[in-house]
Every structure is written in C-alpha cells, then in structure tokens.
Structure 1
Amino acid sequence: MKIAEKFASKDAVVGVVGLGYVGLPLVLAYANAGYHSIGFDIDESKAEALLAGRSYIKHIPGEQVATAKESGKLDATIDFSRVSECDALVLCVPTPLDEHFEPDLSYVVKTIEAIVPHLREGQIISLESTTYPGTTDEELVTRVEAAGLKVGETAFVVYSPEREDPGNAQFAATNIPKVVGGVTAECLEAGVALYEAAFEQVVPVSSCKVAELTKLLENIYRAVNIGLVNELKVAADKMDIDIWEVIRAASTKPFGFNAFYPGPGLGGHCIPIDPFYLTWKAREYGVHTRFIELAGEVNRGMPDYVIHRTMEALNGRGKSVKGSKIVLLGLAYKSNVDDMRESPTFTLMDGFKRLGAEVSYYDPHVPVVGPTREHMDWAGKESLPWTEERLREQDCVVIATKHDAFDLKELATWSDLIVDTRNAMADTETRDGLVVKA
C-alpha cells in the first residue's frame, strides 16, 4: 500500500520524536484525527505521564491526553527501536544557540542518529525543528542515505516548520496552515499526505530550503519589529513620551501598520534564537545580515535597560539596589503559560543578584524553577507566595510578564514601588509615583 493510501485509510502509524511544547500537541493531533500515534522521548517521565493520561504542560489540558489515551490511539515510549513500527516520523527537538550565538544542532544530529538504525523502506521522515536553510539536506538526507535508503524512492524526507504559539486559544496545532517542502517531488507528495491527515490547510513549497527559510523569516520579522519598538521605547522615555500611548494611536491606522510591543527582552525558543541561524548561515555566503544583528543587539540590551530604570526608581526613594528586596512577577516568557525557555526574567534575576539585591519571583504557572540549560543556579527556587505581608516587604516589584492571574488591584495597594515593563498597570488605579515604566 502506498503511503498516501495508508493515510487516506487511517492505517498509517505516526511517530513524533520529542514531546515538548511542539511534539506533545502534534502527537495528540494525530491521535485525535484517528491515527495510531507513538510519542518518543528520552525523558521517561514524559512517556509515563502520557501513558497515565496526564499532561505535563500547563496550557494543554489533561483531559485531552486522557481522551487520546482512552481512544487507544496514543502511545508513548523511550524505546527508539519502535521507530520501525511507524510509517511517518516527525522530529521536534530543540535547536538552541551555543555560547558564541552559533547554531547547536546536537539535538537534531543525536535524534537522527538514534532513529536511523531502525528505519525501514517506505517511511516519511519530517524535520520540524527551526534551523538554517540546508540542514535537512546536509544532516538528515545524508544520514538516511548512508543507512542504505534512497530518498525519494525508498524513503521520503521533508521539512515542515513548527508554528506553535503556546497559550494562544485562537490557534492550536491543527488550524495553523502547515508549510511543507520535500527533497524530491515524491517526498513532497508524501509530506502533503502526512500533514493533510491532521491539519486544515497544507502549504506546499518547492524545496526544504524554502520551508526552512520561511520559518526564519516569520520570526526575524517579529524580532526586528520588537527590536524597533524596544529602541523607540528608550528614545521615548528620554523625551518623556509614553511609547504605549504612541503604539495605541498608531494602531488606529487601518493599513500599513502592525502593532508590536516593547518588553524586558525576548523569550521563548524562537524569536531570540532563530534570527541567528540565518546570520550564521549567511556568513558562509559572504553576506552580513546587519539589520538582523542590530535588532538582536537591541533586544539583548533590554534587561540592562530595565535594571538601570529600576536603579533610578530605587534611588528616587533613597535606596540602592544592593540590599534591596526585589521580586520579579512572571518567570514564564509570555502570558498565561509555564514556558520558561529563554525567559528574560532569568537575565533580570541574574543582573539584580550581581548588584547585591535579594531576588525572588512570583509566577503561579511556575511554582518551582525547573532545570534549564543556561540558568542552573536558579533550579529549585520556589515562587514567592502572593500575600500582602510578602509583597509589602519588597522594596520593588518588577513586572516582567503579565499573567491574567495577577491581582493588579492588590499589587497596587500592597506595593511600595512597581517597575512595569509590560504596561500591565495601565488600566489599574494607582497612587502618584507608584509605577515606573521600563
């Protein structure tokens, strides 16, 4: 039976490798679409949770996992020999930067090398990890063919960038258009069959490189525009202008303007990282991507700006940062999720600690700091309790992420000084001098 026919009859088995913020919604999507789905991960606790019908990601309800498990369509394992059971394998593993802001493909390479010994003829292998153009051909195709398979004939390799937006209730995995590019026309046909099985709209493109660059463009667009408003925020502050009011006014223009908002820095696994995958690859072709690098420089400088504004605000009360109690509100990088990846709050906490402050955080979505690659010193630290006593004893509250769970009226009543990086207090009545925007 051809692979397209297997998907049409729902006899295909789909394997998803990497069960994080991208992989978990994807494996659930295929299970819900009626396909036997197997989630693979090296973290045994994730497999155990899924087998027990539990979710380990806050914005993905446990009921979704339980329903998929009870249907008999969801399975999970740490045993990579079961790769041979799958008709399609979708790789969703991290692609971070190293300490020199260069691509770290170690997770991709290790994953490919883990599955290659168990591949068989007729399978589709799709890479979804964000990366530079050429990765699929250079890292995936070469290893698949070294294992004795012929891409386009006995195996089908595609690239399809993930477009997850954790916590966005309007767009879930399956109603976001799915871009896919194949190594050959036959690969593309197989990839379209794979993704049409679960997604409402599939967007085929002419090559894996086009699909790889599509993802980078999407996030570079956001990074550059956020860098622009971050730079304008600093300039507006010097001019005693509220940048948030400016953005609101500009947003009334019905054409030619899309609103982007400033913050304390970039977070998440995409926007702070993806642009540098292109700048690194572009250097191979003698191209200097100055615009992208400048935006990155501006965005990476925002935590220092927030720290400086906090120092000024404390000085205005006759206090120094050293010895002050400072609590950061929001450890997750965006509103209403528990995703701490690349969160600028960590950078702020590090900076205040270096200056001698007594640093704590409050985040109902992250009650305890889990292990991270870059900020291991904070692992195990618990969220401050939300009580009048604990907030009143703080010298300064810094709003780094705006969660709906924050009671801003209580915050305004109990706090002595609030440094607001998200314009969170705009609609809350406050006494004069309480809030400093940063």
Structure 2
Amino acid sequence: MSHHTELLSRLHDRSAVIGIVGLGYVGLPLAIRFAEVGYRVLGFDIAEDKVAKLNRGESLIEHIPHAAVQAARDAGFEATTDFGRTPQADALILCVPTPLNKYREPDLSFVINTVESLIPHMREGQVMSLESTTYPGTTDEELGPRLETRGLVIGETTFLVYSPEREDPGNANFTTHTIPKVCGGATPACLEVGMALYGQVIDRVVPVSSTRAAELTKLLENIHRAVNIGLVNEMKIVADRMDIDIHEVIAAAATKPFGFVAYQPGPGLGGHCIPIDPFYLTWKAREYGVHTRFIELAGEINSAMPDYVIGKLSGAMNDRQKSIKGSRVLVLGIAYKKNVDDMRESPSVILMEKLRDLGAHVDYSDPHIPTFPPMREHKFDLDSVPLTSDSLKSYDCVLLATDHDRFDYDLIRENAVLIVDSRGKLAAGKDVVKA
C-alpha cells in the first residue's frame, strides 16, 4: 500500500494521530476540534508552563472554557515540549506566529525554527500543513526544500499543504468547524490528503489549485479588512469635521441590502492579523516590481488613528482648562477587540504610551485582563481598576478604547467627569466627546 493510500485511510477512519504545533489562539481550538471527533491529538509547544496547564485540563484562553480542554484530555489529547515525539503524529499542523520585524518585513523565524525542529524526527507517510499567514511562495520555497533535505519526496512519501487559519475570537456565531477552510496542496496528491485531513473536522473545505493561491487568499481576506477599516477611519475624520455622526451614517448605509458591508471605525488596528498581514504582500510584491499603494495608504491612515484620538482627548481637556500633563486618565479596554483577552497589536496600548509620554497618570480597566501582561515592546506595571462610582469620579478623563459588553456603560456615563469615546458606543453629550 502506498504512503498516500495508507495516510488517506488513516485520516478517513480517524485512526491517524494529529500533531498540532503551537497551542495558542489558532492551535488550541483546532486541537480541541480534532479530539472532539475522535482523533488522538498530540500538541507541541515550546512553552513548558503552557504545556503543563493544558495537561492539567486548564485553558489558556478566556473564550475557551476549561471544560473544553478537559474534555479533549479525556479523549486523549496530550501536550508536550518534546519534538522527538514527532514520528508519533501522522499529521503535523503548524499554528505559529508570523510577525513583522522592526523594518515591517516578514519574520518567518517562528515557522522556520518550528520546521527545523520537526524535520530531524520526521518519517515517511506524514502530512505537514502550514496555517500561519504568510506571503505567496512560503510553503513551496521554505518548507518544501527543507522536507526534501530529509530525503522525503513531496506527493509520494510526504505531503505538504497550506490551509490558512480563520478564527474570530469572541464571535459566538462561528466556531472552528463552521468556518469554511481553504486548502492548497504542493501536488494533487498533497491536496487530496489535505482535504481528507480537514474534511473530518471542518464543515466545508474549499480546495484551490496551489499553496500559493491559498496563501494569497488569506492575504486578500485581511487586506480587504485593512483597506475598508482605513476607509471608514478616514470617513470618521471627515464626518467629525462636518459635525456628522459617522456611526449613524454607517448604520443607515448598512440598510442597503447589496453592495455595502459595514465596517466600524476605531482608535487604530489591532490583533495579530489585520495590522500585520497586508505587509507580507507589500514585501513580496516588490520582487515583482509592484507597488501596493492601497495597502500602504490604509496602513498610514490606520497607524495615524491613535494620534487622532489623543488630539481629540487633548482638545476636550483643553476646553475644560486642563492639560494632559499631570492629569489622571483611565483607559477602558486594552484588548484589541471587544469581549476577548487578546492584546496583540492593541491600539489601546499605543494610546496608553502616548498619554504617559505626555505626562498623564494612566490606569486601565479591562474585565478580561486583570493584570497588564508582559509584552515584548510595551511595559506597564498595572492591575485593572474596578469600575465604581468613586473610582470613575477620581479621573480627569475616561477614554473608551475597547467597547467590551461587560462594561457598565450607565455607571460610566453617570460618574465620569469626561468621556472620550473612540468606539461610538455612547450618545454624544456635554461630557462625551467622540474620537
């Protein structure tokens, strides 16, 4: 029996062992899903504390309950830091970060280091799937040759696919298995294996002709969001100058049943995907002599939004004969989007730093993040401030940066001296300034 036939058989009868490499916001839900349908799942991660927590049945992510991790453990899920166990897995699904470096160029070090940790232990008859967002050509140019150094033949003795993650943390309308999943293979046999792998756990798997097409699909999805958010952020500034409520305009436009998708403005872009991924294409397009002007313009507009918010806050304080320097400012919400505990690329943190640099005493309140966590580029030694009538009254300004549903907006409205609202959550009034 060929490696191709045997692997397909093991995937279809769910006797295959699924290896998930990287147990974060993408990898952990996927591991839980594979365990749910009856696969044995082996999770790999380099963080010993994370592995220990998961093996105790504890979740690492707020919107994933401990019970879901414990149920996966009961079904045979195990986490490990030992990459020497790679041969035990029939599938190796890579869910590791792909950030930008300080020059806004792709940093594939997490992907490359992960692959190079796996390859010495790989055997014939495995499939490797990359889920990390990256530029077109990564799977073929970076992963393929490394697999071949092991003496593996892609499409015959090993199989290589690219299937980009699609997660929307905090969105109760979609789960891992209900979000359609794109898959491209390095060869037709690879695509067949990839479709079999994901077809067991995802309701709809969408095949494309190549790994490069799948890689560009993911980038287009995120570029579409980044450009449209840039557009609506620019419209917010125009509407503000014209004394028009942009949120009223968006809600009205959204009643059109075709040709319009509502995007909401905010204080800047956040999350791992939207602020970062478009620049993967910008970087790769240079190789082809193409200048990605839409992407770069949207990036400029979105990057300027924190300064716009600080300007509005400064003006509002000035109207009340106060300077930012020496004032007490409470930032509401430091996650990058509402109802999650994910702070990656959060514009709230940029706002906090800008306020601190201007001499303000800055605190934050976030029901999802009790203590400001260690971050590579940002440092605040703070705990979340409980919202009470007394605590709110003690600040010169309250800045709504992330509009969590768990905030008591009536309490905030009744007790804050000044509210600067960057999310359009509150009706305008003498103590509420839209930003």
User: What TM-score results when the alignment is normalised by the length of structure 1?
Assistant: 0.97
After the TM superposition, which residues 88-99 of structure 1 pair with which residues of structure 2 at under 5 Å, given as runs?
88-99=91-102
Whole-angstrom CA distance in 1 between matches of 2:178 and 2:86: 27
Aligned to 1:103: 106
What are the superposed Cα offsets for residues 63-102 of structure 1, whole Å, 9 maximum, x if unpaired?
111111122x211101111111000000000000111111
SS class of match (1:59): coil
Whole-angstrom CA distance in 2 between matches of 1:86 and 1:436: 55
2:385 matches 1:388: no
After the TM superposition, which residues 282-431 of structure 1 pair with which residues of structure 2 at under 5 Å, given as runs?
282-375=285-378, 377-378=379-380, 380-426=381-427
Aligned to 2:134: 131
Output the amino acid matched with 1:68: A
Aligned to 1:268: 271
How much does 1:381 deviate? 2.1
Aligned to 1:241: 244
Aligned to 2:37: 33
1:15 to 19, 31, 53: 19
2:159 matches 1:159: no
8 Å CA contact 2:388–2:411 kept in 1: the answer is no
Output the amino acid matched with 2:104: F
How much does 1:47 deviate? 1.1
2:206 matches 1:209: no
Ranges of 4+ aligned residues in structure 1 off by more than 6 Å: none
Whole-angstrom CA distance in 2 between matches of 1:51 and 1:5: 29
2:425 matches 1:436: no
1:143 to 137, 142, 146: 146
SS class of match (2:399): strand
Aligned to 1:117: 120
Aligned to 2:67: 63
Aligned to 1:48: 52
Consecutive unaligned residues in structure 1, runs of 5 or more: none
How much does 1:147 deviate? 1.4
What are the superposed Cα offsets for residues 336-371 of structure 1, whole Å, 9 maximum, x if unpaired?
110000000010011011100101110010011212
Whole-angstrom CA distance in 1 between matches of 2:74 and 2:260: 47
Output the amino acid matched with 1:189: E
How much does 1:385 deviate? 2.0
2:280 matches 1:277: yes
User: Taking every aligned residue pair, what percent have the same amino acid on both sides?
Assistant: 60
Whole-angstrom CA distance in 1 between matches of 2:314 and 2:150: 59
Whole-angstrom CA distance in 1 between matches of 2:247 and 2:65: 34
1:24 to 15, 24, 28: 28
8 Å CA contact 2:335–2:346 kept in 1: the answer is yes
SS class of match (1:173): coil
What are the superposed Cα offsets for residues 26-55 of structure 1, whole Å, 9 maximum, x if unpaired?
000100010000111011111111111111
Whole-angstrom CA distance in 2 between matches of 1:371 and 1:150: 43
How much does 1:56 deviate? 1.2
1:259 to 250, 259, 262: 262
Whole-angstrom CA distance in 2 between matches of 1:278 and 1:122: 33
Whole-angstrom CA distance in 1 between matches of 2:281 and 2:201: 30
What are the superposed Cα offsets for residues 265-313 of structure 1, whole Å, 9 maximum, x if unpaired?
0000000001000000001110000011000100000000000000000
Report which stretch shifted further, 48-57 or 295-304: 48-57
Aligned to 1:171: 174
How much does 1:374 deviate? 2.3
What are the superposed Cα offsets for residues 235-259 of structure 1, whole Å, 9 maximum, x if unpaired?
1111111111111111111111110
Count of matched residue positions in the alignment of Structure 1 and Structure 2: 431
Consecutive unaligned residues in structure 2, runs of 5 or more: none
How much does 1:373 deviate? 2.3
Aligned to 2:84: 81
What are the superposed Cα offsets for residues 394-429 of structure 1, whole Å, 9 maximum, x if unpaired?
010110111111000100111000000111113xxx
Whole-angstrom CA distance in 2 between matches of 1:265 and 1:331: 12
Whole-angstrom CA distance in 2 between matches of 1:45 and 1:369: 18
Output the amino acid matched with 2:46: I
SS class of match (2:266): coil
SS class of match (2:41): strand
After the TM superposition, which residues 183-222 of structure 1 pair with which residues of structure 2 at under 5 Å, given as runs?
183-222=186-225
User: What TM-score results when the alignment is normalised by the length of structure 2?
Assistant: 0.98
Whole-angstrom CA distance in 1 between matches of 2:202 and 2:296: 34
Whole-angstrom CA distance in 1 between matches of 2:143 and 2:151: 13
SS class of match (2:215): helix
